[in-house]
Structure 1
């Protein structure tokens, strides 16, 4: 499912992204104007140009997880500012189980669960807060993420047996259901078995330890007091590096809300 070999270009780009984050974070503390605490839900998928050619499973169904973090807002010029963030991003994807199944086979659903700690350095352009209680803004910039854990959760489903035809002498299907239920009991119900396989074990190969990309988004803040805002935003993070040798890249959409505190 996953295979990993650290590419030089990916590592070099990741180092550059980290350097950018550290450079912005090194701005004087007196220039920091806000601290934001945000949390919400994320929807993640995996994509890649080489999936079909390699015969790999496309994890293009969403995996839902937690998105949470803390950030520091630094004013730059007018309504333009920088936002340095650190947070948890649960990425990966799922393989859909076909909606129609046959009783003669079992079906397997796989969910790639790849969790990252993610650093971001975003520019925010929006309306000035003093113009009203609402402050709208747009975000864009690079991010770099470091892998915390990786596994594939596999659920194998054994469908129930096909319902037999109505036996002779039974007037309707209600009677047939009673006879079948009495004969088979709980065997009519399907069964499921869950298995978690760590990346690098049990036929699941490793992913790279880092990922990087760009993020864009937008949202608004509602002023509650002179030093406290309520924030809502949507951010899309697109991975630019291949996390394995099958060409998979991460996609993540975070729907977040939180509190923003003015500190200077």
Structure 2
């Protein structure tokens, strides 16, 4: 799509972390924003901060995106307001727990938030994106490309997200709808501090990580730059790209390195 000032962007998970960083960066670049988050108080506060600068360019809807009827109402309200140029599926959750110990309700919750909700929201918004020649931006993860100990549900959801949207990309290409898949590694955002444990309660142990932990602001700038270039996929740093290649070219070596680096997960 052609990127113009005041492109209308809908950002999910917009009240904190990467979603809020994306909202600030997009606002600074002159875009109109529709902010969505389940935390009504935080969302109202963040929206008010931007509206104090220009109230015409910000609106917000408090919503748990796993609520199907609520999601449908959101789509109706967005359609009633006019055009939608960009949908950024950013909202997500994760867990830190061994696959064999994790209760199915946790795996279902991760899949509902990280796969089902963005898929359903995108399908509902396709007519609007078709009219505008718009773009869907999905915040995936390197965990969707390669296994990470203690994240079986999260890896599964992000892999499913990537596969669904790669298929959708081919199916809507002739309709003028773009798809940008973003594959960050480790970011300093609340998604990890709010990670679920094996039973759905907060995870009891600190996360393991590899590579440099980047800021949400760093990531947001790269996402918007990739969108403006018309990129189809974004591996934001060399580490992420090299790790994905290692998994494909030398999977046994990757597993040995991962077990060493994420040993705390095996003992949790």
Same fold, TM-score > 0.5, yes or no: no
Which of the pair is proportionally richer in strand? 1
Higher relative CO (Cα under 8 Å, sequence separation at least 6) belongs to 1
Q: TM-score, normalised by structure 2?
A: 0.25
Which of the pair is proportionally richer in helix? 2
Q: TM-score, normalised by structure 1?
A: 0.25
